[in-house]
Structure 1
Amino acid sequence: MQWELKVRLTMKMGPGFLIAAAFIGPGTVTTATMAGAQFGYALLWAVIFSVLATIILQEMAARLGVITHKGLAELLNQQFQSPLLKWFVIGLIVAAIGIGNAAYEAGNLTGAAMGLHNLLGGELPLWSLALGAIAALTLANGNTKSLQTVLTILVMLMSLVFIVTFVIADVDYAELFGGMFVPQLPDASILTTIALIGTTVVPYNLFLHASLAAKHKTDSSPHDRLKHIQKDSALAISIGGLVTLAIVSTSAATWFGSSVAPQMDSIAEQLRPLLGDYAPAFFALGLFCAGLTSAITAPLATSYALCGALGKPTDPDSKLFKFIWLSVILFGSALCFLAIKPISIILLAQAANGLLLPLIAVCLLWFCNQANLLGQFRNKLWHNVLGTTVVLTVSGLGFFKLISLF
């Protein structure tokens, strides 16, 4: 099948790079830019923490997929014996990932549309509809390998430019290292800190990673497959975190302490030290690629998560699988075209995510300690120490975020 071929080819590049491409979207660029402009280098520690937390959680999710050949949502559905607890978890997954990704899809399409608008002109709603159609057609025919490869390369190229710009920009390295290794929370920075972590430690990426890893069936031993995916994921996520760090730092060097606040049409100013007058066009191209990559990845992850949570086959050729990703794209496209700001929906998704991420992190720890699931590949002591630290930190931030919404 085309989808099976696509998964095999994607896995050669590694699921980690698909995960990294998924979280380097318009939201990450915007959040990191605003963090640097408003708080300088003070929140870089949150970027470092989010990268380490993501590597730890994504490794556990991928390990579950490789060894059990099941997605995370499937395991959640099968392992919970209490019907009440099972349906509570399913409800959170539907709210946080199903409804949430449908709302966030509008942001992905809008970001990609803004990139095209800045490059070619035209109306944003029409570009959003066109991009929604491209995402739907791409997922419908199953031939996403070539497009995903091209988009990932372009996103990585944009990432390289941010990193090189960071190197040649007028960065205050004393402040930078202080921000990286001395945690601090300036006044009114808590929500920005949560947003920085939230753009990297994303619940739906845990479901996507486990499902893609479960498809990674080769002639090599489970140990070799797992080792390959662990290295791939650590490298890809680290590169993604370096990009976020570079965006925060170049934004701090450009705007922090000035009376000018960055706007969407001026974010490209960060790239001017390297690209000069070409900065706006290059940034627009990168924004288009980042947005479209996320617009394709988010519906795919939603289908894996919801089908698994509902106990249905996670078969990309099944009607339910296709119905879910199509619904996400249609909903996001409609919000873009009608220029509706789904504030209440996003608030619901944020509240659900605030509960879901700590719960999924706890479940990952639990599953990864089960000998009947992972055998010799279950967690070691250092896995549990690091994982517990991440769970406690993410739980505290998640519940603070939940409380702050009410």
Structure 2
Amino acid sequence: MPRPALLSPFKALGPGLVLAAAGIGAGDVITATVTGAQFGTRLAWALLACVVLKWVLNEGLARWQLATGTTLIEACMQRLPRWVSLSFFLYLLVWTFFVGASLTNACGLAGHSLFPQWPVWAWGALHSVVAVALVWVGKFELFERVMKLLVGVMVITVLICAVLVKPNVAELLRHISWPVLPPDSGKAVLSIFGGIGGSMTMLCYGYWIRENKWSGAGHQRMVRADLLLAYGVTLIFAVALTIVAAGCNAAVINGSGMALEVAARLEAALGPAGRWAFLLGFWCAVFASMLGVWQGVPYFFADFMAQRAATPTDGEEDLKMTRAYRGYLLFLAGPPLALLLAGRPVAMVVLFTVIGAFFMPFLALLLLYLNNRRDWVGGLRNGPVRNLALVVSLLLFGWIAITELKLIFSS
């Protein structure tokens, strides 16, 4: 196996940073902010545990693709019973509608927080149209550059705010390293594992590493480092959000004034610069997530259609130019706009994270099956440690999904 060609450091960091930007988004921002307002940094250990498990799952996905040259969707279509791919496809349709609603609402909330002259629904529709235009006419290189810029601004601004409010570092380190469950924190822990680090967006990574020509076992180390960067950025951003949200009014945080409440707290502590820095970072986070989802998720549908028609594809450039890709992009950005009129942006994001939680146990189970077949993945099969981590993921995320389902039917 030839060694992979050397890439410039900035280029090599591309897929992981794009994944971090797409995966952080609305669910992470709202979950971490609400958690910080209610419990400060006392649940930082859950943030760390969550990103570790998400790293394990995404590394398993990438390892399957490096070993076989096929995406997870191709694996479902080619190697598993038909009912698996059909169920996955139906879930994708439902998830897509709610992720579209979640992100348009979150972007509307971010835009309205910066410039309240326009209502949330107008800002949400504008962001959706701009994201569609960037994906439709732009090549992957432009998309990647924009995503890197957004993730850089969002992390730096929120991290600077977190440092300037002078958190208790010793206490933060203790909360990260030693699990504790404050009273009434069970639901918050469920939200962290269900909402931090993305769910279906993890599948986008396979298409983005194709753009960077990463294939074969020789790229395994590079992919692991890249994913470590992605989830390291996710953890830093989430912890920083809990720090800046600590001390905020929890009742206000759960409503549409969430961003303004945190911004007001930072303005009182740091002056106007603190307010605008947070609002800018908040906007970058949710718009980067929208842009990443608008660019990455239509690949899933196009991949399904290509496999169903037994049409050979030549990487994701072919998929991106198909009618299936462009039609699904319009579906993702269009019909969910109707939910903007509901006027409950935070509720839309929370509902999306609940729906996304059902994907995680399915993914863990799939990777336990696929990546233990030596005749399929060869030397890249799971080891005992990875199998243990996947079993833990399956049990944990399965329990979360069942709990969320009970909450839905009991409410």
Band the TM-score falls in, shorter-chain normalisation: 0.7 to 0.9
Q: Shift in Å at residue 49 of structure 1?
A: 0.8
Paired position in structure 2 for 1:133:
129
Report if the CA contact (8 A) 2:15-2:205 is conserved.
Answer: yes
Paired position in structure 1 for 2:281:
286
Letter in 1 for 2:220: L
Give the secondary structure class of the aligned counterpart of 2:180. Answer: coil
| Residue correspondence of structure 1 range 214-293 to structure 2 within 5 A | 214-217=210-213, 222-252=216-246, 254-255=247-248, 263-269=258-264, 271-272=266-267, 276-293=271-288
Corresponding residue to 1:204 among 186, 200, 207: 200
Paired position in structure 2 for 1:5:
none
Structure 2: how far apart are the matches of 1:332 and 1:90?
18
Q: Relative to 1, partners in 2 of residues 1:187 and 1:77: Cα closer, same or farther, differing over 3 Å?
A: farther
Unaligned runs of 5+ in 2: 1-7
Report if the CA contact (8 A) 1:23-1:294 is conserved.
Answer: yes
Paired position in structure 1 for 2:337:
333
| Residue correspondence of structure 1 range 184-203 to structure 2 within 5 A | 184-203=180-199
Report if the CA contact (8 A) 1:67-1:214 is conserved.
Answer: no
Identity, % of aligned positions: 22
Structure 2 length-normalised TM: 0.83
Structure 2: how far apart are the matches of 1:354 and 1:259?
25
1:25 aligns with 2:17: no
Report if the CA contact (8 A) 1:115-1:286 is conserved.
Answer: no
Structure 1: how far apart are the matches of 2:28 and 2:136?
27
Letter in 2 for 1:38: Q
Structure 1: how far apart are the matches of 2:38 and 2:348?
27
Corresponding residue to 2:297 among 294, 302, 305: 302
1:374 aligns with 2:370: no
Report if the CA contact (8 A) 2:195-2:357 is conserved.
Answer: no
Report if the CA contact (8 A) 2:54-2:197 is conserved.
Answer: yes
Q: Shift in Å at residue 360 of structure 1?
A: 1.3
Paired position in structure 1 for 2:322:
318
Structure 2: how far apart are the matches of 1:361 and 1:152?
29
Q: Relative to 1, partners in 2 of residues 1:167 and 1:183: Cα closer, same or farther, differing over 3 Å?
A: same
Structure 1 length-normalised TM: 0.84
Letter in 1 for 2:133: L
Tell me which moved more, 238-247 or 138-147.
138-147
Structure 1: how far apart are the matches of 2:98 and 2:212?
28
Letter in 2 for 1:41: T
Paired position in structure 1 for 2:162:
166
Structure 2: how far apart are the matches of 1:9 and 1:323?
35
Report if the CA contact (8 A) 1:73-1:306 is conserved.
Answer: no
CA RMSD of aligned residues (A): 3.1
Structure 1: how far apart are the matches of 2:150 and 2:353?
30
Paired position in structure 1 for 2:4:
none
Structure 1: how far apart are the matches of 2:43 and 2:74?
36
Aligned length: 390
Tell me which moved more, 268-277 or 26-35.
268-277
Deviations 1:27-75 (A, max 9, x none): 3222212111112222111101111011111111112223322222221
Paired position in structure 2 for 1:90:
89
Structure 1: how far apart are the matches of 2:348 and 2:158?
32
Q: Relative to 1, partners in 2 of residues 1:162 and 1:354: Cα closer, same or farther, differing over 3 Å?
A: closer
Q: Relative to 1, partners in 2 of residues 1:215 and 1:150: Cα closer, same or farther, differing over 3 Å?
A: closer
Paired position in structure 2 for 1:44:
44
Structure 1: how far apart are the matches of 2:113 and 2:143?
17
Unaligned runs of 5+ in 1: 1-7
Report if the CA contact (8 A) 1:61-1:364 is conserved.
Answer: yes
